[in-house]
């Protein structure tokens, strides 16, 4: 009697056979097949595995530029100061009240409404720009 073990991607199978056996696996969590001519001593098990996919979309450069301009205005930063998508509000000197005022300025400029939970998750200019585009895309059919 021969014993073979197959481990791959999202399934694991242990096969014991005396007869001719074929095993086909397609790299997909939902499809695999097993065939045994004679059907003796065949065992099969599939172990579920979780899959995590993270999709990240960066906001358009125009949106980031608008957000940078609004942040500079709200914080009364000098014209020569550099504000980029990676700039954090804290590093720019913003306190919690400044952050609320920035969010209000963004709502007015982009014609959107930012929920309080979402507003609290904003810590960088890029975060704000991404959130704005997400809200706008949800508003569009």
Known catalytic residues are 95
In total, the chain counts a number of residues equal to 141
CA angle (42, 43, 47) in 5-degree steps: 150
Task: Quote the CA–CA distance of 126 and 18 in Å, as a whole number.
Answer: 62
**What are the phi and psi torsion angles at 70 (to 5°)?**
-65, -40
């Amino acid at each position: 009697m021969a014993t073979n073990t197959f481990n791959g991607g999202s399934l694991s199978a242990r096969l014991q056979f005396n007869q001719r056996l074929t095993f086909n696996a397609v790299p997909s969590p939902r499809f695999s097949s097993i065939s045994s001519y004679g059907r003796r001593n065949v065992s099969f098990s599939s172990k579920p595995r979780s899959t995590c996919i993270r999709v990240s979309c960066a906001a358009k450069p125009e949106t980031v530029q608008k957000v940078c301009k609004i942040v500079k205005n709200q914080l009364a930063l000098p014209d020569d100061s550099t504000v980029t998508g990676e700039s954090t509000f804290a590093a720019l000197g913003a306190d919690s009240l400044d952050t609320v005022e920035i969010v209000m300025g963004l709502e007015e400029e982009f014609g959107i409404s930012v929920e309080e939970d979402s507003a609290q998750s904003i810590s960088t200019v890029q975060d704000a720009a991404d959130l704005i585009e997400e809200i706008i895309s949800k508003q569009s059919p």
